[in-house]
Amino acid sequence: MKAIRFHEAGGPEVLQYEEVPVPEIGPGEVLVRVHAVGVNPPDWYLREGMKVMPAEMRPALEFPLIPGTDMSGVVEAVAPDVSGFTVGDEVFGMLRFPGFEGRTYAEYVAAPASDLAHKPAVIDHVQAAGAPMAVLTAWQYLIDLGHDVPSPFTGQVHQPVPITPGMTVLVNGAAGGVGHFALQLAKWKGAHVIAVASGRHEQFLHKLGADEIIDYTTTQAADVVSGVDLVIDTVGGPDSRRFLTVLKRGGTMLPVFFAQYDPKETARLGITVSNIQVRSNGPQLAEIARLFDEGKLQVGVDSTYSLSEAGSAHARAAQGHIQGKIVLTVVS
């Protein structure tokens, strides 16, 4: 089969389209003919040799590596101990995350059945491949953690704060992969949603149901908003503390990317800060699939590239301003 591999860490140019053996399935696995692959930040973190992590936390990588965690496709073979999936089923999933063994940038993948769900009927493979990591992240932050593993960054187990009708939720990075699902899930739960993004995404965010939109290129949220119940910040970075002042006392700050807060300051403001590392979870994806089928969620597709053009897809990602998801097409 064809797959994308890289033999050394580096820029998008290290991604090579190569001939490799079709993987064999083990216990608990199904072989999936991949139709589309979702591109996520961990794919380029891995390609860059995990430079995003502090040196002491960086894993040793064994090359060559096939990147990728997310995919949508059709079941081709099923291990004898697997129930719930049969040959010909359309499935989607985020495989073996956290970890670097998803190997979805390929024509076939051996997938743990526990990481899969049946693809929603109303969306195609491109949309379904774009969903898993981004939607599971929003789900595990906002709706149901679904595991009791402490965050590797804080050592604490996250407790999602129930979103109730009328609550105000601010989503920073609202047009991106995680952000556009966080916005929709908060709306589904009845929240008033303030979306922060660059102005180019205004129409997209209105379509997804944002009640208010703040263009961060012209307006700072802290200058125009206060009394918010919950902030989910998918951007993070050194100046993320500016969002603390938009929260009411007793509010919650959910940083999705690295962000540092002074515990004395958050205690003084009465704000809880909590984060997670998203984890693979097929049963949660099955619940989420029902929301897609009921028309309560949609996937924004920023752009598509063929599998052989994975390097161009990563180059697109490096330009930023992603609206929804970048997806690789494998079967067209």
Ligand X SMILES: NC(=O)c1ccc[n+]([C@@H]2O[C@H](COP(=O)([O-])OP(=O)(O)OC[C@H]3O[C@@H](n4cnc5c(N)ncnc54)[C@H](OP(=O)(O)O)[C@@H]3O)[C@@H](O)[C@H]2O)c1
Tokens 């797959």 belong to: 3
Q: Which of 12, 68, 179, 282 touches ligand X (CB under 6 A)?
A: 179
The correct pick among 18, 114, 189, 257 for binding ligand X (CB under 6 A) is 257
Q: Does 169 bind ligand X (CB under 6 A)?
A: no
Kindly tell me which residue out of 73, 176, 251, 282 binds ligand X, with binding defined by CB under 6 A: 176
Output the CA angle 282-96-36, nearest 5 degrees. Answer: 75
Number of neighbouring beta carbons within 10 Å of residue 219: 14
How big is the CA angle at 228 (ends 242 and 287), to the nearest 5 degrees?
110
Instruction: Specify whether the CB–CB gap between 169 and 145 falls below 8 A.
Output: no
Residues in the chain, how many?
332
Cβ nearer to ligand X, comparing 218 with 332: 218
Considering only residues 5-64, where is the footprint of ligand X by CB under 6 A?
40-41
Distance CA 172, CA 216 (A): 9
User: Phi and psi of 281, rounded to 5°?
Assistant: -165, 95
Tell me the window of 82-90, 100-108, 112-120, 171-179 that interacts with ligand X (CB under 6 A).
171-179
Residues 230-249 that bind ligand X (CB under 6 A): 234-235
Rg of the chain, C-alpha, whole Å: 19
Q: How far is the CB of 78 from ligand X (least distance, A)?
A: 29
Nearer to ligand X, 157 or 331 (CB): 157
Residue 116 is encoded by which pair of tokens? 């899969």
Q: What share of the chain is helix, strand, coil (3-state, %, to 5)?
A: 30, 25, 45
Which of 14, 32, 135, 276 is the binder for ligand X (CB under 6 A)?
A: 276
| Residue of 49, 64, 74, 198 interacting with ligand X (CB under 6 A) | 198
The tally of CA atoms less than 13 A away on the side-chain side of residue 204 is 27
Q: Shortest Cβ contact with ligand X: which residue?
A: 176
Interface pattern 209-228 for ligand X (x via CB under 6 A): -------x------------
Residue numbers at the binding site for ligand X (CB under 6 A): 40-41, 133-134, 137, 172-173, 175-179, 196-198, 200-201, 216, 234-235, 256-257, 275-278, 320-322
